[in-house]
Structure 1
Amino acid sequence: MLRLALIQMRVGADKLANVKRASDLISSAVSEHSARLICLPECFNSPYGTSFFESYAEPVPDGPTCKAVSEIAREHRIWLVAGSIPERGDDGKLYNCSVTFDPKGTLVGLYRKLHLFDIEIPGQFSFKESSSLSSGKEPFYFELPLDDTDRQPKVIRVGIGICYDIRFPELSLLYANSHGCHVLLFPGAFNPKTATVSETISGKGGSLIHSQKRRLERWAEHFEEQFIWPPATQSVEIMHTGEWNVNLDRPSEEEVWYKISVLKREKAPGPDGLYPALFKEGGKFLVSHLTKLIGTIRDGEIVSAEWGMSTIIPIFKRRPVHWELLGKARALDTQCYVGMCSPACDLESDYVSHAESLITSPWGVVVAKAGKDEQIISANIDLNELKRVREAIPIGRQRRLDVYTMPKPANGSHPNETQGSC
């Protein structure tokens, strides 16, 4: 049994302060969580962004950050995957680099991000990591010896990826199938704008989510009608401005609660009103949020950009595509434990991280998950559980490598097909 801890830390502009904060949180992970394997987030010593990589880059392992985390690992006698840092290589190129240290503070190895984050979502988000970083050339995993009292196997193998790498199952499958890894760790900084809107309604996160703008308009019209107020927004989708009658009184939370409760009845617009159980778990959040939103519009007339992103109650809320889903998918693909460690969410930073670091079991179950703020999460890496999963559904030994590697005939026909067959 091994205790894994992920440190979701707030990252600022001061490199020394970031490293000091990482050290303090590592101390807490050891003392409060009994962690032996600890992972830091992507770019834990610097803000994340192409405009920062050059100025924050340092050599590995001779730079100040690596020297500091080496000492931290030695002091606490832990295995430390030091998230990632901007590295200035001997070739003069910049890399997004993860370094791992053993309990003696010795560098075990480094991993340079293989798949660079180059995407463009029209009208929403654009980012090109390759404008300043170069990609790595090889994967990296390490073996962590277990105590003599632990059962077989005597080592745990840990494969490393960084953020966008998790979207490429080939890397995870390589670690699991070719190198026998039991744990996959992905320091990552997903952005909420790498997002879509879902066709579902979620109450647990306090969000009402829709993918069709016309439905958004109907919801907005519904609230305007319920409160007997003039149009609440000039733009439902962005909602940066509001037009209100100055003679209206600011609503009480009780009044807001009553008006929102109508959503769970037949008067809710469309077929997807809140049903009672969902309203019970998400209702209080919605009331608090809407009360604050209405008050902001009522008092200031202009709704700030942050309210624009947080939506109407929120009716329309951007969420990162596949963050948790990818963790579950890679866990199921590989039958490994998967850890995804993010920086904490900071709405004032140039690049906003989604946060919500998580650990997923080989069965695809999230066994630990953080919120948006700074937090340490941990879970046991249970090799007996991993063995049970792999024996119950033995995909590892059922792979058809003879088929996967079969060359395709030049004429496109199946090798067993004969002329004139049907």
Structure 2
Amino acid sequence: MSDNMPGPLTKFRLALIQLMVSPLKASNYNRLGTFVKEAASRGAKVVALPECYNSPYGTNYFPEYAERIPGESTRVLSEVAKEFGVYLIGGSIPEEDDGKLYNTCTVFAPNGSMLLKYRKIHLFDIDVPGKIRFQESETLSPGSSLCTFDTPYCKVGIGICYDMRFTELAQIYTQKGCQLLVYPGAFNMTTGPAHWELLQRARAVDNQVYVAAVSPARNEKSSYVAWGHSSIVNPWGEVLAKAGSEETIIYADIDLKYLSGIRQQIPILKQKRHDLYCIQAVKD
């Protein structure tokens, strides 16, 4: 490589916007634009929004707020990504398509083009006696495709909330070359304190990747109260940045040289590939 040629881009700033979601879509659009502008002014190249950034979270809200894609909400995301020159991970919105509803994340490039549309694969169906019952499957249909996108820095894999509990999804993304996994999510006041950070750290250590999970801000008046605590975790399992419950932006510098160093020091990915080969051999 010539001394005059630029080397690979190995570090970039990630921002997570912990938005206080309003029942008014226009209010959410205005505030997310303000926050993305602030994040870009502080050097963020990749910016992520929370799950259901444009509507309250709840099975009774999904039909009311659902949109087709492209639609109003994705138009706003495209315009904001282009105006501020960032990769914008659009949290998720309730999507209507062919008579079905999905929990869908879209990602936009700095030129405003849509890079992917990911539909939440693992629907949030839980029943913790005396604490919480929630059944996304009462209104939503599951997606069936994994989605990644490329940046000048690294490949990024997308999941939504409950997807974070499924180790196989993160493993497949890692095998596909992802070095950052981003999960827009809205854990609640029961599962949040117990598992939110634990799962992020587990996925990061299991796969030696950066993991980011971005929640809505906590609104105690909502029918579904989000835990908040958006976080960014490095491949060593350390929490680099963590929000409280309030509306805010958090930042972390994603260092791909550091990630490579971790993988060299503890080369588990090579062993995982060997394990998968052995498992397949047994099946055959």
TM over 0.5: yes
Query: What does 1:18-417 align with in structure 2 at a 5 Å threshold?
Result: 18-31=28-41, 33-61=42-70, 63-89=71-97, 91-146=98-153, 156-177=154-175, 179-194=176-191, 320-399=193-272, 400-407=275-282
Cα drift, residue 122 of structure 1: 1.1
Q: 1:115 aligns to what SS in structure 2?
A: coil
**Amino acid of the structure 1 residue aligned with 2:241:** A
Cα drift, residue 365 of structure 1: 0.3
**Amino acid of the structure 2 residue aligned with 1:26:** V
Cα drift, residue 16 of structure 1: 1.1
Q: 2:151 aligns to what SS in structure 1?
A: strand
Structure 1 residue runs of 4 or more that deviate by more than 4 Å after TM superposition: none
Q: 1:320 aligns to what SS in structure 2?
A: helix
Q: 2:17 aligns to what SS in structure 1?
A: strand
Could you tell me how far apart the structure 2 residues matched to 1:405 and 1:378 are?
40
Could you tell me how far apart the structure 2 residues matched to 1:15 and 1:406 are?
52
**Amino acid of the structure 1 residue aligned with 2:40:** V
Q: 2:44 aligns to what SS in structure 1?
A: coil
Cα drift, residue 406 of structure 1: 4.1
Cα drift, residue 408 of structure 1: 6.2
Cα drift, residue 70 of structure 1: 0.2
| 1:394-413 CA distance string (max 9 Å, x none) | 1111122233224469xxxx
| 1:323-365 CA distance string (max 9 Å, x none) | 0000000001111100000000110111100000000001100
Q: 1:380 aligns to what SS in structure 2?
A: strand
| 1:102-152 CA distance string (max 9 Å, x none) | 000000011000000001011211000000000001100000024xxxxxx
Q: TM-score, normalised by structure 1?
A: 0.63
Could you tell me how far apart the structure 2 residues matched to 1:373 and 1:96 are?
24
- 1:5 paired residue number: 15
Cα drift, residue 190 of structure 1: 0.1
Cα drift, residue 94 of structure 1: 0.4
**Amino acid of the structure 1 residue aligned with 2:167:** P
Could you tell me how far apart the structure 2 residues matched to 1:28 and 1:380 are?
16
Could you tell me how far apart the structure 1 residues matched to 2:277 and 2:167 are?
20
| 1:10-62 CA distance string (max 9 Å, x none) | 0011011111111111111111x31000000000000000000001000112x
Could you tell me how far apart the structure 1 residues matched to 2:282 and 2:270 are?
22
| 1:293-319 CA distance string (max 9 Å, x none) | xxxxxxxxxxxxxxxxxxxxxxxxxx6
Cα drift, residue 390 of structure 1: 0.5
Q: 2:182 aligns to what SS in structure 1?
A: strand
Question: Aligned match of 2:24 in 3, 11, 14?
Answer: 14
Q: RMSD of the alignment, in Å?
A: 1.2
**Amino acid of the structure 2 residue aligned with 1:43:** C
Cα drift, residue 320 of structure 1: 2.8
| 1:133-188 CA distance string (max 9 Å, x none) | 00001100000024xxxxxxxxx0000000000000000000001x1001000000
Q: Extract unaligned runs of 5+ from structure 1.
A: 147-155, 195-318, 410-422
